[in-house]
Amino acid sequence: MNVTLTKRAIEHLRRVQGNKHVKLIYDTDGCGCAVNGVPVLLLIDELDEHDVAIETNDVPIWMEKHQLIFFDDQMTLDVVDGAGCFQLKSPNQILNPRMSLVER
């Protein structure tokens, strides 16, 4: 899996990351089913043993190994103009047009 970060995404992540790790999750809370969910970016203090590094062109992104199935092999992370959020897309689909970055 590879996530290409746009220049704007790199700048935004570097500005807010500090000493935290960036983690991409497939959040199913409140979605009614374990296969219905939404991609969310987290800023976390510590990684857990099931987290794997995703290939990127800059800022490291981590993901829980069992959630890889919910994402495409090639994705792009960009910033949404004027919205203060991210967009995650692939050549096949927009996975999340307004993805939050949540600090935990």
Q: Cα(52)–Cα(36) distance, rounded to whole angstroms? A: 22
State the CATH number of the domain containing residue 77.
2.60.300.12
SS3 of residue 26 by DSSP: strand
pLDDT tens digits, 62-83: 999 999 999 999 999 999 988 8
pLDDT at 10 over 90: yes
pLDDT on residue 3? 98
Q: Total structural domains in the chain?
A: 1
